[in-house]
């Protein structure tokens, strides 16, 4: 779909949604070092600095040449690349490392905080609090939250979903019990198997549903952190409760069959930090934990599964919105707003001045409506 020439003229655009960003780039080693600096800012709570690094990394991912002292001048003139970053890049070219990375990695704090956030339910702020209590390792956390190898399985099973009451949040304790499972990566074949099982169950509720596996899988990752599926049906009405109903019905069925073991968010239930969308009731999501039944060949582990139900007229915006990457999505929204007078998010596209809604019939049409050239999902790894 895209020529090499195409990639070579696109890398200087300031919006990630106009650049070609492959999964692995010619400057992967540099990008990985800068990712440590970014992660350090994020985990210490310096969100603006973290975002700046994220933009820098994203620009470098699209640069199609190996960076050397001969072309660093060109890099310095790319959008979002400042002089401070340039000297770090220069340091990397000359020494194969960045001194600040070395000093971050030489202490215990960064390692502990990163380790803590591998527990579902622990974000940077909680991680810092736990660290300030003197806790340093996952073992420390397990003692603190009273999780042991003997009790782990029971704790993992202890959260019962009551579909008539408020959903319990996944506690850090349950997160700890599920940690090993949830942090192991999901191969493409298992993503496809999970998708198949889910759609098979859905077909028993309502035949003729359509779906796309989105997220990192669609961007070509060999191993994903979770499974993201966008689902619709041509007869679903937006506005009403149909989308919501189908979503809840499927999750309940999967839960009854023991396939969904935990539900962290489900439409129709009160949730403390619900994401407010600008386009009303056209989209519903369920954030869950899923496990394939054990079979002769293998013992399966718990996986994060996100199900997104879209009314048919916003199916393609939902697919684009849930394909990512996060930076690609951020700049899609920014581009739409700043350059096109449009509003874009997973739940719809509208014109800002009169809120006129648009209903694209394909992914290509989503890009067209936003005045962008379509980019292959595997080049959206911004
Ligand atoms: P993720 O599943 O969080 O990330 P990913 O699929 O890119 O990578 P992996 O799972 O392998 O770590 O999110 C998928 C996309 O969905 C992300 O690019 C942005 C979008 N998204 C939303 O629109 N809303 C949300 O609340 C979340 C969590 C993601
Ligand atoms: Mn994902
Ligand atoms: Mn996800
Ligand atoms: Mn199997």
Kindly report, residue by residue over 126-141, the tens digit of the pLDDT.
999 999 999 999 999 9
pLDDT band at 272 (very low <50, low <70, confident <90, very high): very low
Same domain? 29 vs 69: yes
Nearest CA to ligand 1 atom 21: 322
| Residues lining ligand 1, Cβ inside 6 A | 215-216, 221, 224-226, 228, 275, 321-322, 324-326, 329, 346
Res 274 pLDDT > 60? no
List, for residues 69-128, the tens digit of each pLDDT value.
999 999 999 999 999 999 999 999 999 999 999 999 999 999 999 999 999 999 999 999
| Interface pTM, i.e. ipTM | 0.93
List, for residues 34-73, the tens digit of each pLDDT value.
999 999 999 999 999 999 999 999 999 999 999 999 999 9
8 Å CB contact between 279 and 348: yes
8 Å CB contact between 266 and 247: yes
The answer, yes or no, to whether the previous bond of 208 is cis (omega within 30 of 0) is no
- Return the percent helix, strand and coil in the chain, to nearest 5: 50, 15, 40
324, 343, 368: which is the final residue of a domain? 324
Same domain? 122 vs 89: no
Tokens 């959903």 sit on residue: 167
Cα(260) to centroid(ligand 4), Å: 16
Same domain? 267 vs 222: yes
Structural domain boundaries, residue 236: 184-324
Nearest CA to ligand 1 atom 15: 322
- Would you state the pLDDT for residue 342? 97
Cα(218) to centroid(ligand 3), Å: 12
Whether residue 30 lies inside any domain: the answer is: yes
CATH code for position 19: 1.10.150.110
Q: Which is the closest atom of ligand 1 to the Cα of 325?
A: 18
- Would you state the pLDDT for residue 275? 52
Nearest CA to ligand 1 atom 4: 215
Cα(370) to centroid(ligand 3), Å: 24
pLDDT band at 280 (very low <50, low <70, confident <90, very high): low
Cα(218) to centroid(ligand 2), Å: 9
**Facing residues of 226 across strands?**
304
Number of domains into which the chain is organized: 3
CA-nearest of 272, 281, 349 to 310 is 281
């Amino acid at each position: 779909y895209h020529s090499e020439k195409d990639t070579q003229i696109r890398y200087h655009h300031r919006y990630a949604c106009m650049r070609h960003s492959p999964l692995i780039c010619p400057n992967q080693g540099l990008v990985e070092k800068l990712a440590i600096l970014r992660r350090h800012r994020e985990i210490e709570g310096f969100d603006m600095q973290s975002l700046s690094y994220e933009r820098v990394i994203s620009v470098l991912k699209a640069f199609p040449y190996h960076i050397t002292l001969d072309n660093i001048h060109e890099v310095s003139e790319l959008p979002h690349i400042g002089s401070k970053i340039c000297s770090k890049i220069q340091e990397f070219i000359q020494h194969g490392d960045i001194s600040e990375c070395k000093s971050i990695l030489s202490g215990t704090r960064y390692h502990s905080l990163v380790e803590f956030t591998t527990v579902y339910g622990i974000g940077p702020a909680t991680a810092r609090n736990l660290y300030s209590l003197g806790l340093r390792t996952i073992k420390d956390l397990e003692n603190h939250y009273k999780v042991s190898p003997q009790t782990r399985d029971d704790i993992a099973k202890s959260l019962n979903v009551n579909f008539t009451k408020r959903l319990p949040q996944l506690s850090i304790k349950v997160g700890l019990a599920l940690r090993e499972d949830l942090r192991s990566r999901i191969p493409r074949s298992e993503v496809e198997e999970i998708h198949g099982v889910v759609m098979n169950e859905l077909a028993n509720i309502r035949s003729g549903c359509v779906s796309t596996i989105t997220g990192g899988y669609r961007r070509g990752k060999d191993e994903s952190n979770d499974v993201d599926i966008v689902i619709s049906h041509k007869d679903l009405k937006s506005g009403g409760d149909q989308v919501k109903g189908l979503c809840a019905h499927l999750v309940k069925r999967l839960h009854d069959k023991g396939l969904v073991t935990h539900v962290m968010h489900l439409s129709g239930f009160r949730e403390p930090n619900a994401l407010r969308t600008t386009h009303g009731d056209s989209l519903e999501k369920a954030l869950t934990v899923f496990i394939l039944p054990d079979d002769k060949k293998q013992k399966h582990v718990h996986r994060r599964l996100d199900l997104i139900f879209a009314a048919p007229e916003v199916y393609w915006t939902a697919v684009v919105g849930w394909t990512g990457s996060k930076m690609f999505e951020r700049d899609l929204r920014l581009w739409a707003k700043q350059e096109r007078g449009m509003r874009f998010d997973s739940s719809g596209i509208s014109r800002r001045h009169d809120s006129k809604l648009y209903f694209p019939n394909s992914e290509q049409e989503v890009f067209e409506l936003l005045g962008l050239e379509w980019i292959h999902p595997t080049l959206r790894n911004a």
